[in-house]
């Protein structure tokens, strides 16, 4: 089973990004319910303090867990904890990147460090943490950022690296791409944030 957590700002066409099966579980976070409803995605649980959900009528008849406005966790973080309790194969956070609150974007990216089976999916990008090895065939930009001091090897990339040490907050790994059929990422020490972005994302600028 996979768990999908839909949060604001959500992609315009979620079904184009993921295929949600009948045995999968969907959690909508606050205003994420609006996007799920608009795209006719069945929701199993709604969580949030609902300070941003304008159409409160959407909550009628649904399984709802209302949170306090003043709390130590964001609504999205709480939803991911609920998702983790189900012991799923994978958790996908749909959305949560961009919007009017850049601090929420940053907070959501940091959540990748709390859940080892979590990926964040947006219209143009995927975000995930790599701690050992990953093979990728991504036809677009591949960006590698160290969450902490890391030693990595990249093979099959335009800019390969061999057991290269990256200090935390190093930006050397931005805007790389594959020159072979697939690329390999080896994390010998530490952990890295891998952001894969479609080439056509540049059209938005």
- What pLDDT is attached to residue 202? 58
pTM passes above 0.75: yes
- What pLDDT is attached to residue 183? 98
E strands along 70-176, which residues?
90-94, 118-121, 125-130, 133-136, 140-146, 150-155, 161-166, 173-176
Query: Residues 6 or more apart from 61 whose CB is under 8 A from it?
Result: none
- What pLDDT is attached to residue 193? 97
- What pLDDT is attached to residue 205? 44
Matching CATH number, 2-123, of 3.40.50.10240, 3.40.1800.10, 3.30.1490.20, 3.30.1130.10? 3.40.50.10240
3-class DSSP assignment, residue 110: helix
Spans of all domains in the chain: 2-123, 129-204
Q: Do domains 2-123 and 129-204 have the same CATH topology?
A: yes
- What pLDDT is attached to residue 5? 98
- What pLDDT is attached to residue 201? 66
Q: Is 72 exposed, middle or buried (0-12, 13-18, 19+ CB in 10 A)?
A: exposed
pLDDT in tens, 99-117: 899 999 999 999 999 998 9
Angle, to 10 degrees, between the axis of helix 75-85 and the axis of helix 102-110? 20
- What pLDDT is attached to residue 157? 98
Architecture of domain 129-204: 3-Layer(aba) Sandwich (3.40)
Q: Which residues of the chain have pLDDT under 70?
A: 201-205
pLDDT in tens, 166-175: 999 999 999 9
Task: Specify the DSSP class assigned to residue 83.
Answer: H
């Amino acid at each position: 089973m996979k768990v999908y957590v839909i949060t604001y700002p959500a992609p315009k066409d979620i079904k184009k990004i993921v295929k949600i099966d009948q045995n999968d579980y969907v959690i909508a976070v606050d205003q994420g319910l609006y996007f799920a409803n608009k795209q006719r995605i069945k929701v199993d649980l709604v969580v949030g303090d609902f300070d941003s959900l304008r159409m409160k009528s959407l909550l009628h008849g649904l399984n709802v867990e209302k949170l306090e406005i003043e709390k130590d966790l964001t609504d999205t973080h709480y939803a991911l904890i609920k998702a983790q309790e189900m012991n799923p194969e994978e958790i996908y956070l749909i959305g949560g990147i961009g919007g009017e609150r850049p601090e929420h974007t940053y907070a959501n990216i940091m959540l990748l460090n709390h859940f080892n089976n979590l990926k964040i999916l947006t219209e143009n990008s995927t975000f995930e943490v790599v701690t050992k090895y990953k093979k990728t065939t991504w036809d677009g930009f591949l960006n590698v950022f160290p969450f902490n001091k890391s030693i990595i090897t990249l093979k099959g990339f335009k800019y390969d690296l061999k057991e290269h040490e990256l200090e935390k907050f190093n930006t050397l790994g931005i805007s790389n791409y594959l020159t072979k059929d697939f690329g390999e990422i080896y994390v010998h020490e530490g952990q890295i944030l891998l952001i894969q972005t479609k080439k056509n994302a540049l059209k938005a600028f």
